[in-house]
Amino acid sequence: MHVFFRGLLSLFKGMKITWYYLVHPSTVVTQQYPENRATLKLADRVRAQLAFNYDENGFHKCTSCHICEEACPNASIHVIDRPKPAIAKNELDHFIWRLDSCTFCNLCVLVCPFQVLKMNPTFESSVFDQRLLVYNLTTYAGATGPVLMKQPDAEARNKLIEPRSVYDGPTALEGYHLAGIPPGLYEPTSTTGVPK
Amino acid sequence: MSSGSNSLIQGVSLSQWVGGNAWTDTPWLAFAAVLGGTALTIGFMSLTAMVLVYAERKIAAHFQCRLGPMRVGWHGILQSIADSLKLFFKEDIVPTNTDHLLHALAPALCVMATLLALITIPLSPSISIANMNIGVLFLSAVSGLGVLGILLGGWSSNNKWSLLGAMRAGAQIISYEISMTLSILVVVLFAGSMKFSTIIESQATGWWIWRVPVVGFVAFFIFLISSTAEINRTPFDLAEGESELTAGFHTEYSGLRFAMFFLAEYINLFIASSLGAILFLGGWMPFHIGHFSTFNHLMDLIPPGIWFAMKVCGLIFLSMWIRWTFPRLRVDQLMRLEWKILLPIGLVNLAIAACLILSEYYFFVWNPL
Amino acid sequence: MEITGMTAATMSNTEVPVSSLDERIKFFQNEPQSALATQEYFVNMGPQHPSTHGVLRLVLKMDGETVREIIPVLGYVHRGMEKKAEYIGYRQQVHLTDRLDYLCALMNNWVMADAVERAMKIELNDRILTLRTIFAELQRIQSHQLWWGVFGMDLGAFTPFLYGFRDREKITAIFEDTMGARLTMNYIQPGGLMYDIHPEFPRKVKDFLKYFKPILNEYDELFTGNVIVHQRLKGIGILDGKTAISVGASGPVLRASGVSYDLRKSDPYGVYSKTQFEVPVGTTGDCWDRYIVRMQEMRESIRIVEQLIDNIPEGPTMVMKFGAKIRIPEGIYYNQMETARGILGVMLVADGTEKPYRLHFRTPNFNNLWSVISMAKGLRLADLVAILSSVDIVVPDIDR
């Protein structure tokens, strides 16, 4: 009998806890995601998207040394040299990064000798076609920023580089205008190397 | 299915109304009444189930520090409608090697049983579809039919998990039926009638839960446990037990047929709560305290339908509260609870009730103040 | 149940034909009829089953509700992690250990990183060791929180699941601040830590501990004290210490069986030797003991973190920076640590190149799974679910 009532009491104790949460709406922890974009603050270090660091002139420091490619555990990075370098010994043509296979281990960022790469906390990278997840991160093919800045003026620098877009080069798409994807839907953006 | 049974019952009141045999004198009226009654019942049933599903999701969410449905309509109020639409249009998947006839019949049986049980429930003095003089007996009889649908569903699915779930449900519902009937019988003894309206009217001076101090409460307690088991809700949801049997007897059901099981489940919740309210909490009778006539007058101002709804809502909330707090029992513990604890207590309780009536002690009206 | 009305067909191990319905019907028609004929049957629990926590498949030989035989079928999430290591190198392998037992990714990182550090004889400073210990203990709390929630769900109570996840989220947010990831952090690197801690880290951890201590009591009130839970767990799935050792069980499963063996005490690593904590030990080794041991471990972890969080030593968080590849000297190295589920060991056979010749993980869940088989025989199906949950199986750790 004693055990019976103690058991009953334990049931009521549990019900007391759930009651507490029912009558205290402030304890609700649900975040309503698309609506709370304004207040949703992700930590700065969140790794969600690989991107290039560009200086104020829009140049990067990648010397195409392939260390990141070597460090990548599952070959998500593919660095392609420029076939005919303009001034430097090695020049980057395409920096292909596969978001679909990347595990965000951060090793490429850690091993990069020139701090070219960084991880961005922009996590909304869903697309309707998996092939769109293969990006070219560099906005231009050419030498590094410091080398290019030795040139006298902007005109001379522009002669040494070629613009590159997000889906340029040997991405799975071979250019965003192919493969049934309407042009204009995924226009490359110039600064971040990440589609809008 | 439902129209046949409805016609019998509808005929009784209708013949009183037209003063003769409705089927021979005014067949069109009788037919219209049957159709209308059926449509009304089904409409009421669907609406109740939708409201209950929404309420359960919201309440469960707030028990668990969540918000629940928020997207469809204001605070997700249209979520149930959207879900039922989805279920309507979903593909009805029938696995190979099932017994097709039984597989199709099972959900219909479940719904039929609940529909039959539902029509006996008097919602207010003026709203009752079938106010039979054997209401209690009829309700216990047809609610037992529901287990047939569950057993058939589990058996015909050609799935061992379903079969296990069905067998558990069968054992459980048949066992708990006994305790439930014993606790109902206590009230039937006190009220001296099996007619729901008479049972309710007998509680005008006090509800049975406290009018006979201990006996009424014990009966109510047993009723609460056994009705929870009867309608397969946690902590007695062994028939579905999703962590053990994936989904129990309705593992192999989808689309509209799953929706029918779902509907039956929630209507059963409504029926069980209504039964509890009618038998123990005075149905549509207002809450009165002793001789506080002002208070009693104020209480009388609330219409009886609202009183009934309030009591049913309270019991449904209690059921949800229990469901979202407790873990599930094991199948042998479930049986032990019934046969070793509830059944003896119920029997003793019934005997005491009978003794009280014989000694005419029950006319003692106990007032809280 | 076992003997009543066993027919000749069921007594002899005649196999029921599974090919077609007609054949089956014929089989049962030929069977001598008996009023109480019972038949044992096989049922697949998993690979898609809510309480096998992933893709574990158990083939159960059942007699009604009673489990007679359990045959685990593994390999549904086999990813060839050990073989892969022979191709990708030591540094890259660390991030794969995240995916062994994804609920204690940091501890797995630590084992692998520590194995490399031992092989290369790298001396770590106190700051790194202290931080690693704090992280490991936070991860242990986090892992046990999730276990608690899932345990509740397996017993049929859905609410603990969400409470567990709600509180787990707070640790996850702390990790996210410092490490930039929530589940697979890859934060503990050979030679130190990936980054220094977030400046807010100590304050946030203290806030969390302050929040979580009353919550633990709430867990007790909601679930531990519940009479149904007692009924479901006490005396169910008894694993005696001898069997536990013989199947190689470790972690809370072993300790609940009364064997006080915790690597944090018996072979201290990190800064565990400088901290005060108890190793909770059970007596009977039933589900209830495993439950209590884990609940107690959360409290002990809180104690450890409290001792360390106030005085984290100063110093660099990376004592040796590596490039893309690590070359470790030839030899065979073994390192083991206590994760939330037991002993995780890693054996490296290095041949002096940048990739291991052979790498082997001794994972806790693989051994713990075999204890389930000896425990659950003859019990009910619902007990098997409770036992599986009390052992806290993580399937990717079994299959690797």
Q: Tell me which residue of C304, C280, C296 sits closest to C136, measured CA to CA.
A: C304
* Contacts C154 to B, Cβ<8 Å: 243
Distances (CA, A) of A89 to A58, A64, A81, A112, A143: 21, 10, 10, 18, 9
Check whether residue C178 and residue C316 sit in a common domain: yes
pTM of the model: 0.84
Q: Tell me which residue of A129, A139, A113, A116 sits closest to A194, measured CA to CA.
A: A139
Angle at B102 between CA B101 and CA B108, to 5 degrees: 100
Check whether residue A14 and residue A54 sit in a common domain: no
Q: What is the pLDDT of residue C141?
A: 92
Check whether residue C276 and residue C379 sit in a common domain: yes
Q: In chain B, positions 35-64, which contact chain C (CB-CB < 8 Å)?
A: 60, 63-64
Q: Tell me which residue of A143, A120, A102 sits closest to A50, measured CA to CA.
A: A120
Check whether residue C27 and residue C135 sit in a common domain: no
Check whether residue A101 and residue A12 sit in a common domain: no
For residue B363, pLDDT over 70 is answered with no
Retrieve residue A31's tokens. 């975040």
Partner C contacted by A73 (CB < 8 A): yes
Mean pLDDT calculated for residue range B230-250: 81
Check whether residue A58 and residue A115 sit in a common domain: yes
Within a domain: C115 = no
Within a domain: C128 = yes
Domain count, chain C: 2
Check whether residue A22 and residue A53 sit in a common domain: no
Asked if A49 contacts B87 with a C-beta cutoff of 8 angstroms, the reply is no
Unique residue bearing structure tokens 């540094």: C91
| Domain boundaries defined on chain B | 1-89, 98-363
The residue among C251 and B357 whose pLDDT is bigger is C251
Count CB neighbours of B256 within 10 A. 16
Q: What is the pLDDT of residue B11?
A: 41
Cβ within 8 Å, pair B237-C156 = yes
Check whether residue C129 and residue C28 sit in a common domain: no
Each of the 400 residues of chain C gets a pLDDT tens digit; together they read 344 444 444 444 455 555 666 666 666 555 555 556 677 888 888 788 888 877 888 888 888 788 888 888 888 888 888 888 888 888 888 888 888 888 888 999 999 888 888 888 888 888 899 999 999 999 999 999 999 999 988 888 888 899 999 999 899 989 988 888 888 888 888 888 888 888 888 999 999 999 999 999 888 888 888 888 888 888 888 888 888 888 888 889 999 988 888 888 888 888 888 888 888 998 888 889 999 999 999 999 999 999 888 888 888 888 888 887 888 888 899 988 998 888 999 998 988 888 888 889 988 988 888 888 888 888 888 888 889 888 888 888 888 8
Mean pLDDT calculated for residue range B201-221: 79
Q: In chain B, positions 243-262, which contact chain C (CB-CB < 8 Å)?
A: 243-246
Domain hosting A94: range is 49-163
Within a domain: C81 = no
Check whether residue A13 and residue A95 sit in a common domain: no
Within a domain: C102 = no
Check whether residue C32 and residue C128 sit in a common domain: no
Asked if C363 contacts C22 with a C-beta cutoff of 8 angstroms, the reply is no
Q: In chain A, positions 119-178, which contact chain C (CB-CB < 8 Å)?
A: 119, 121
Within a domain: C65 = no
Average pLDDT, chain B: 81
Domain count, chain A: 2
Q: What is the pLDDT of residue A179?
A: 44
Within a domain: A40 = no
Within a domain: C52 = no
Partner A contacted by B67 (CB < 8 A): yes
Cβ within 8 Å, pair B327-C43 = no
Check whether residue A71 and residue A13 sit in a common domain: no
**Measured in Å, how far apart are chain B's first and last C-alpha atoms?**
50
CA distance B156 to B249: 10
Q: Which of C41, C158, C228 sits opposite B324 (nearest CB)?
A: C158
Check whether residue C132 and residue C13 sit in a common domain: no
A143 confidence band (pLDDT: 50, 70, 90): confident
Within a domain: C385 = yes
Cβ within 8 Å, pair C222-A13 = yes
Within a domain: C356 = no
Nearest residue on chain C to A45, judged by CA atoms? C180
Instruction: Mention every residue, 6+ apart, whose C-beta is less than 8 A from residue C85.
Output: C93, C96, C355, C356, C359
Asked if C60 contacts C73 with a C-beta cutoff of 8 angstroms, the reply is no
Amino acid identity at C361: F
Check whether residue C167 and residue C18 sit in a common domain: no
CA distance C276 to C308: 10
* Least confident segment among A178-192, B70-84, B116-130, B287-301: A178-192
Label the pairing between strands A140-141 and A77-81.
unpaired
Task: Quote the minimal CA–CA distance from C388 to chain A in Å.
Answer: 24
Domain hosting C160: range is 124-320+368-399
Q: What is the pLDDT of residues A114-127, one digit of tens each?
A: 888 988 888 777 77
CATH assignment at residue C155? 1.10.645.10
CATH assignment at residue A111? 3.30.70.3270
